[in-house]
Chain A
């Protein structure tokens, strides 16, 4: 187990170091604030938790890490414990230490900051970090491992997505909760339960990954059907599939956000339905949608680009399918919500936010096709999404005229289309790199031998 942890540390030390430094800076910058959660637990904390916690492990798993580990003389329990420790225990320790150093630094007059040490802030922050690291790990173990294709699997998938989204939002909106309120305690208890459950579910995660191959050998039940049923296919099928999935996933996330935000805001103020929507969107909710749409719908399609390229589709058609279809779906989603918001600045604001988010999604698709899903491509993709997260804020209706938003979004989308088209023709990254993203989970597009 020690060797597994050391191996993880050797490969991901820079990620932990970055997370630690970021945690230090966030705590240092928010010291002295009476309500630090309002400023601390923003998207940045979520990103630190994710990238210092489960991301390295999930990235390893996607590259077939588990298949290597299972050939080594270590027990399932040892692997499981090592995974939990490197994803929850040690990052929590690291973030706690970084936050502690930041708080101590506040006491030093020589660096010119004398905002004081808020023990409550420190403890609450560390507790939250730890619990959400644990919750994220639990959700990793709960991931079904396959693309859903039956009602039961869809139900499981939706439950998983819902829990993950709630946990994300829980981190984001934790600041508006008080530890003394019932809701605050409930959130803490849920996260604590997930953290503890994650420790025990870790073995299940290992076994699940080990058992994937064995499950393949199970004989089929029932009579085989050799005649393929009628149904439309080809490009319309691909377009319809991408569009409907992006749209419905977005809608699902909106509904979930509504439920969560309504619940959170209810205790503080009487808010209308649309206020909750607006709160969700303006607090990065739209970016989560783009992330998820890309992650769950577009990633698998883009990873099959090698196959799509063998079909009688021109580069322009393929680029349009990959860039414009999801973009249109996101814009349609925004239009729908804007329509619900009625007329006036709220609807324009929502539309602007979705338009910019769609253009960020389009740019990230072009990056994926251009660079493939190798390590550099992935980081570039993540970087663009992070930078793009600010665009909707900048081009908020209150701050920028709608015409400027529309012009910039159009420019970005058209550029993304052209880059994608050229990348499909000229770049070999997307074809040559054999991604094993989610390979161990059954979605992989890479060679699995």
Chain B
């Protein structure tokens, strides 16, 4: 798949206490795209809008090249949504929920569904009301994967899952995209998992996208710089520079290497500069706390 699976352009949604966007987001076809951000950043809102849960105030959303409003049903036939907020208790038992959802999808894969049920330790006669939180998430995932969707949108699917279950989930996701025809958009607070399993990421904060790109490239673009300055020295603000911590004359800053900040730091009195690679979690914490720490 060469085209973009999801394209969001200038998306806005206004609530009394929160404004999403304008948001531009591109999920390439066949990718596992991790959407990360702090609580209340707008991840779920953006995903909800893709599925028509609410109406965007501006911008457009295209899934597999289809407009999300005009071709709503076609999109939902090709896409699946997983979230801990989805609940199937009204159907009573796992089997009934499966039968209900299966009826909407002619391409439902019964064998795959049975295999997933076994792996997720779910049984046809399990009562949904008595499933644990993690098991309900697994059921949600099972219902989404068994329809063999071209686009899978997962909103914090690993919430409440133990380490083994998380591993299972990501293994299944990797299998789902291995034929290069399926795309996964996943939001999660498990940054280690996101860094390990996704090939693209987008970082959203206060309803706006701060970063987007290939995961390895984004992470490699930043460095944590530790250096010393004279006592009382101050660093002027600059794009690509995020002060993480300062203890007297010792500084920890996150720098965007694309901005050529190493030379700039030296020019502003930084000494003994040590650059170290960052993890996605370091990057996330620094960028999300930016503005609070300063």
A228 close to B102 (CB less than 8 A): yes
Q: Bound complex: CA of A225 vs CA of B123, how far in Å?
A: 5
A445 at the interface (CB under 8 A from B): yes
Interface size class of chain A, counting residues whose CB lies under 8 Å from the partner chain: 35 or more
How does the 8 Å CB contact mask read for A113-124 relative to B, with 1 for contact and 0 for none? 000000000000
B89 close to A442 (CB less than 8 A): yes
Q: Which of A181-235 contact B (CB under 8 A)?
A: 215-218, 220, 222, 224-229, 231-235
How does the 8 Å CB contact mask read for B40-71 relative to A, with 1 for contact and 0 for none? 00000000100111110000000000000000
A434 close to B72 (CB less than 8 A): no
A443 close to B123 (CB less than 8 A): no
Decide: A306 near B53, CB < 8 A? Known: A216-B131, A227-B124, A444-B89: yes
A300 at the interface (CB under 8 A from B): yes
A110 at the interface (CB under 8 A from B): no
B90 close to A306 (CB less than 8 A): no
Stretch from B80-88, B182-190, B260-268 forming part of the interface with A? B80-88
A151 at the interface (CB under 8 A from B): no
B89 close to A229 (CB less than 8 A): no
Decide: A311 near B104, CB < 8 A? Known: A216-B132, A228-B95, A229-B124: yes
Q: Bound complex: CA of A149 vs CA of B92, how far in Å?
A: 6
Q: Bound complex: CA of A215 vs CA of B126, how far in Å?
A: 13
A228 close to B129 (CB less than 8 A): no
Residue on A nearest B78 in the bound complex, by CB = A312
B104 close to A234 (CB less than 8 A): yes
How does the 8 Å CB contact mask read for B116-132 relative to A, with 1 for contact and 0 for none? 01100111111101111
B123 close to A149 (CB less than 8 A): no
B103 close to A234 (CB less than 8 A): yes
Stretch from A127-135, A334-342, A424-432 forming part of the interface with B? A424-432
A228 close to B110 (CB less than 8 A): yes
Q: Bound complex: CA of A222 vs CA of B160, how far in Å?
A: 26
Residue on B nearest A218 in the bound complex, by CB = B130
Q: Which of A291-311 contact B (CB under 8 A)?
A: 300-301, 303-304, 306-307, 309-311
Q: Bound complex: CA of A181 vs CA of B22, how far in Å?
A: 73
Q: Bound complex: CA of A36 vs CA of B53, how far in Å?
A: 52
How does the 8 Å CB contact mask read for A304-345 relative to B, with 1 for contact and 0 for none? 101101111111000000000000000000000000000000
A228 close to B99 (CB less than 8 A): yes
Task: Point out the residue from B15, B81, B98 that lies within 8 Å of A310, measured CB to CB.
Answer: B81
A233 close to B76 (CB less than 8 A): no
How does the 8 Å CB contact mask read for B233-277 relative to A, with 1 for contact and 0 for none? 000000000000000000000000000000000000000000000
B211 at the interface (CB under 8 A from A): no
Q: Bound complex: CA of A242 vs CA of B95, how far in Å?
A: 18
A226 close to B117 (CB less than 8 A): yes
Q: Bound complex: CA of A303 vs CA of B85, how far in Å?
A: 11
CB-CB < 8 A to A229: which residues of B?
95, 99, 124
A147 close to B89 (CB less than 8 A): yes
Task: Point out the residue from B85, B102, B104 that lies within 8 Å of A447, measured CB to CB.
Answer: B85
A446 at the interface (CB under 8 A from B): yes
Q: Bound complex: CA of A224 vs CA of B123, how far in Å?
A: 5
Q: Bound complex: CA of A432 vs CA of B118, how far in Å?
A: 33
Residue on A nearest B74 in the bound complex, by CB = A312
- Min Cβ gap A245→B in Å is 10
CB-CB < 8 A to B99: which residues of A?
228-229, 231-233, 237
B168 at the interface (CB under 8 A from A): no
CB-CB < 8 A to A312: which residues of B?
73-74, 76-77, 104-105
B114 at the interface (CB under 8 A from A): yes
CB-CB < 8 A to B102: which residues of A?
228, 233-234
Q: Bound complex: CA of A418 vs CA of B75, how far in Å?
A: 23
- The 14 listed contacts between A and B (C-beta, < 8 Å) are A147-B89, A147-B90, A218-B130, A220-B123, A222-B125, A224-B124, A226-B115, A233-B100, A233-B102, A234-B103, A234-B104, A300-B90, A307-B87, A314-B72
Give B contacts to A, CB under 8 Å. Answer: 15, 48, 51-55, 72-74, 76-77, 80-81, 83-90, 92-95, 98-105, 110, 113-115, 117-118, 121-127, 129-133, 159-160
Contacts A224-B123, A225-B124, A234-B100 known; list 9 others, CB within 8 Å: A226-B117, A228-B99, A233-B101, A238-B100, A304-B89, A314-B73, A426-B54, A449-B84, A449-B133
Q: Which 4 interchain pairs have the tightest Cβ spacing?
A: A234-B103, A233-B103, A224-B123, A428-B54
